[in-house]
Amino acid sequence: LLVLLFLFMRKRIQLAMGCVKETSKAITAMPGIIVFPVIQGLGLMVFMIAWCVYVAHLASMGDFSTSQYDAGPIKISVRTFEFSNFVKQCGWYLLFCFFWTSQFILAMGEIIFAMSVSKWYFSRDKSNIGSATVWTSIATSMWYHSGTAAFGSLIIAIIKMIRSFLAYLQRKAEEMDSSIAKAVLCCFQCCFWCLEKCMRFLNKNAYIQTAIFGSSFCTSAKEAFFLILRNAARIAAITYVSGGVMFIGKVFITSLTTGAAYVYMDQEIGDELYSIIGPLFFIAAISWFIAGMFMGVYDMGIATILQCFVADEE
């Protein structure tokens, strides 16, 4: 069955491999696009520092309360740290701010990547394309398409808030030991997880439409939805191939980085460490995360090349 599927999908897989090759050419022509994930990561870091400061201040706004318990002849005083309803509401608000802002930063990155690659694709003279194209795409995206990124990220943030509230209710249901409530909440959690995945996929393609045609979010989402329906087999092949490329790339980068760290630590500071497994595990985790950020550029580029090809074809 798998062989028959490959035979049936061979033209789509060939197209997907062609998109991978063209994405490599685009990234080679615009080396500055590799630097942007670093800027994006720094932006997330700055936001996280500010957000953690607010969370720390909010966490210190609770009050101590003392309760008396009689245990036979002994009286026990228990002090607990409790939060008012206002503080709890502020906590939910900060959680929403975290979801919306972090998703907005990621959405802006996707639009900028897509715009840079689409400019390269439609340019007749590729010699005019370079790292400067990335910086002009940043300026254009920030000036004209930040509202699109804000609206798309708002949808994801709302879904994440609903999932967080469902997780809170699930915890309460476990305390009440209600099997029916736990089953119903688990079903809702699964449905909203699927909805979030679908919206992420639709948002990604909508951002590409915005980058190519300059349309608003709603128009781009509608066009992206019908484009997915018209090219379901092609997009399935692209998703499969790009997923494989991303996985291989992340494994290669993580293995190379961890291997280099092992050689260095074994030769230089091996005698000073009780075990190098812990540091190597930490380095591997960081390498996997960073590799995911850089390979995300590749994934977005492949999807953008496909939509540019379809736009050319249609």
Q: What is the DSSP secondary structure assignment for residue 35, as one 8-state letter?
A: T
What is the pLDDT, as a whole number, of residue 69? 66
Residue 21 included in any domain: yes
20-29, 94-103, 239-248: least confident range: 239-248
Q: How much is the mean pLDDT over the chain?
A: 84
Residue bearing tokens 């909440």: 185
CA distance 225 to 68: 61
CA distance 279 to 272: 13
Which tokens is 205 given? Answer: 């393609």
CA distance 196 to 70: 50
Which tokens is 37 given? Answer: 């994930």
Mean pLDDT in residue range 61-90: 71
Q: Per-residue pLDDT for 88 more than 90?
A: no
Dihedral sign (CA 37, 40, 42, 44) = negative
CA distance 58 to 42: 24
Q: Per-residue pLDDT for 187 more than 90?
A: yes
Q: What is the DSSP secondary structure assignment for residue 127, as one 8-state letter?
A: G
DSSP string, 171-224: HHHHHHT-HHHHHHHHHHHHHHHHHHHHHHHHHHHHHHHHHHH---HHHHHHHH
Residue 37 included in any domain: yes
Residue 3 included in any domain: no
Express each pLDDT in 115-161 by its tens digit.
999 999 888 887 788 888 889 999 999 999 999 999 999 999 999 99
Q: Per-residue pLDDT for 195 more than 90?
A: yes
pLDDT bracket for residue 14 (50, 70, 90): confident
Mean pLDDT in residue range 36-42: 84
Q: Per-residue pLDDT for 273 more than 70?
A: no
> Per-residue b/e over 72-85, b at no fewer than 16 CB within 10 Å?
eeeeeeeeeeeeee
Residue 59 included in any domain: no
Q: How many domains does the chain have?
A: 1
What is the pLDDT, as a whole number, of residue 72? 62
Write out the residue range of the structural domain in which residue 135 sits: 8-53+66-313
Express each pLDDT in 222-258 by its tens digit.
988 888 888 877 777 777 777 887 888 888 889 998 8
For the entire predicted model, the pTM comes to 0.83
Residue 58 included in any domain: no
Residue bearing tokens 């639709």: 202
Residue 151 included in any domain: yes
What is the pLDDT, as a whole number, of residue 2? 60
Strand residue runs (E) in the chain: 63-71, 74-82
Residue 100 included in any domain: yes
Residue 2 included in any domain: no
